[in-house]
Amino acid sequence: MLTKALASERQRVRVEAAILEIHDILTRHESQLAVLSDPQYKLLNESILALLHSTEVEKYRYLCRAVENCLREDELVPQEAAVLSRILRDMSATEAGFIVQNFGFQRVWLNTTVNEDGGQSPTVHPSSPEAIVVSGLISLGLLLSSSSEYAGLGMFSWSPITAKLLALLRDTAA
């Protein structure tokens, strides 16, 4: 019954367009495909499969970038590929955008008070739509609690895997 919905047709068209873009990317980098490591292959394969489970056009863009940038990640180890694959599959386009916009900050502060850390972290109000994004990033393991002290409650730092994820998400054409 779901395949009869108009949304299903829109989804099919979006997925086909993304797959054609990935085909073009892989064709341009055909020589690199011959020497892919197993972790690179896993990440490429899982990124392509993630397309089938998303309806967000912006997420398709991030996944296409991940496919292209994965070809440059020759230092990837199996566990990183597994974790990054899960993150790419489960992360929303909004969460990816938050990372791209805010990774330059040392921390993210989930708090209701005015940020007093000299601009080293964006403040996200707990009842704002961005708080849901921060919560998602915490659940994906991309943001970690920065402090167990009272003064640091609500302060989160980027986990080490976030830098690897950002390398996959970045737009190298810009």
User: What whole-number distance in Å separates Cα of residue 69 and Cα of residue 72?
Assistant: 5
Residue with the larger pLDDT of the pair 5 and 83: 83
Over residues 114-145, the pLDDT tens digits come to: 655 566 678 888 999 999 999 999 999 999 99
Sign of CA dihedral 169, 39, 73, 71: negative
Domain parsing of the chain, residue ranges: 2-90, 98-161
Over residues 29-78, the pLDDT tens digits come to: 999 999 999 999 999 999 999 998 898 999 999 999 999 999 988 889 99
pTM of the model: 0.86
